[in-house]
Amino acid sequence: MSVAAFDSSAVRIAERDAHWMAAALRRAARNTGRTASNPSVGCLVVAPGADGRDEVVARAVTAVGGRPHAETEALKIAGDRARGATVYVTLEPCSHHGKTPPCVNALIAAGVSRVVVSVTDPDPRVSGRGFALLRQAGIEVVTGVLEEEGERALDAYLRRQRKGRPLVTLKLAVSADGMVGRQGEGQVAITGPEARARVQNWRARSDAILVGVGTAIADDPLLTCRIPGMEARSPHRIVLDRRLELPVASRLVATARDVPLLVVGGERRPDGETVERSADAVAALAREASRSMRRAALEAAGAEVIEVDPGALETVLEMLAGRGIASLFVEGGARVAADFLAAGLVDRIALFTAPRFIGEGGIASPVTRDHIPDGFALRQTRTLGEDRLDIYERAS
């Protein structure tokens, strides 16, 4: 074979691999935000058809809840057609024993000939080991196909693995005069229906949504996904509430048995004892007793109270990552937004700007199109009805 013919063949194979990997990434997007602590991975099994052309004999995505994994499900669908086939998978197949056997073992047992992967898994139990085991079994392994696209698709999972915290998206709806609401009026509609629908879709693709207790009390939101037919994709709801002031009668608490609600509140002494600090010991004891009653009431209603100082945002994020939360949508409160920005914990800003004016008594936004925090770059702009969405991302 001439060098030119070899090069041409290599280009065709690379183009074919990119084509099918793009399809695997689209499949993975179907369950983003629904796979608990596991990433949503897409997998295709491709084999020669009767006419010699590529034929997809199986498609799969990580199941809701995180199991079964995409690879094992695809191999099950493919059956005997998997022998000698090429498998396209968006993340390195797992090689460790967890609640299920390793996907690498299933691929080897199925007799596949090639495994094409987009992103190497940074999980130390897997990273590179899956590839090595496949190669030892005589399977051709190709890595880094559409790697940039794969990294974006898996950005939340990769952030949790690499930095020990969720990917944080800060959402702000800002009026033409730079306000996010009006003092004393609770929730104020700023954006139109198209922008609000976009937010609902974002909620459906996030593991958790977070607000401060001030917003929770003033707006009495549900923070669920209200897209018809997608209500089950509502994220975990988190309220930062140092003194446990969230009313038991609030809609958040009233729905805590249907959609998980985490209330983060309290301070800890070095010995782990939760306290309210005060020079007046009697008053402090009375407040602590009252706080204990409020905690009991919240828990009786189905909320989970987590004794972590809500002011220690990095600790809060580490706690959430430890619970399998990889993507966090910070949606409520100018104060909370400013605190996350000041702590350097925002990875992406979703800035919705509307043409309406708030005027006197408005609550100023910490971010506007004319005032973007240092370190963020505009990545995307979209028109949604009368509103504009600008997405800014922090340089890694």
Please indicate, yes or no, whether residues 147 and 239 belong to a single structural domain of this protein.
no
Please indicate, yes or no, whether residues 228 and 102 belong to a single structural domain of this protein.
no
Domain end marker among 122, 153, 184 = 153
- Give the predicted TM-score (pTM) of the model: 0.87
Say how far apart CA 376 and CA 369 lie, in whole Å: 12
Domain end marker among 109, 132, 153 = 153
Say how far apart CA 387 and CA 191 lie, in whole Å: 6
CATH number at residue 239: 3.40.430.10
Cα–Cα nearest to 130, from 161, 95, 102, 182: 95
Q: Give me the number of domains the chain comprises.
A: 2
Active-site residue, 151 included: no
pLDDT at 93: 96
Buried b (16+ CB within 10 A) or exposed e, 183-197: eeeeebebbbeebbe
Please indicate, yes or no, whether residues 210 and 108 belong to a single structural domain of this protein.
no
Please indicate, yes or no, whether residues 108 and 251 belong to a single structural domain of this protein.
no
Residue owning tokens 């099918």: 20
Residue 211 CA to its chain's centroid (Å): 16
Please indicate, yes or no, whether residues 201 and 300 belong to a single structural domain of this protein.
yes
Please indicate, yes or no, whether residues 174 and 234 belong to a single structural domain of this protein.
yes
Expressed in angstroms, the distance from the first to the final Cα of the chain is 44
pLDDT at 275: 47
Please indicate, yes or no, whether residues 323 and 389 belong to a single structural domain of this protein.
yes
Residue owning tokens 């009697």: 282
CATH number at residue 106: 3.40.140.10
Please indicate, yes or no, whether residues 106 and 223 belong to a single structural domain of this protein.
no
DSSP code of 234? P
Please indicate, yes or no, whether residues 23 and 142 belong to a single structural domain of this protein.
yes
Domain residues for 95?
3-153
Q: In this structure, how many other beta carbons lie within 10 angstroms of the beta carbon of residue 198?
A: 19
Residue 302 CA to its chain's centroid (Å): 24
Question: How do strand 387-394 and strand 348-353 relate by DSSP bridges?
Answer: antiparallel
Please indicate, yes or no, whether residues 172 and 144 belong to a single structural domain of this protein.
no
pLDDT at 17: 97
Peptide bond into 122 cis (omega under 30): no
**Sequential pLDDT tens for the chain (396 residues):** 554 554 678 888 899 999 999 999 999 999 998 898 899 999 999 999 878 789 999 999 999 989 899 999 999 999 999 999 999 999 999 987 766 789 999 999 999 999 999 999 999 888 899 999 999 999 999 999 999 999 999 999 999 999 999 999 999 999 999 999 888 776 788 999 999 999 999 999 999 999 999 999 999 999 999 988 888 889 999 999 999 999 999 999 999 999 999 999 976 444 444 444 555 666 667 777 788 899 999 999 999 999 999 999 999 999 999 999 999 999 978 999 999 999 999 999 999 999 999 988 899 999 999 999 999 999 999 999 999 999 999 986
Please indicate, yes or no, whether residues 359 and 326 belong to a single structural domain of this protein.
yes
Pick the catalytic residue: 15, 55, 71, 151? 71
pLDDT at 70: 96
Domain end marker among 153, 178, 203 = 153
Please indicate, yes or no, whether residues 141 and 171 belong to a single structural domain of this protein.
no
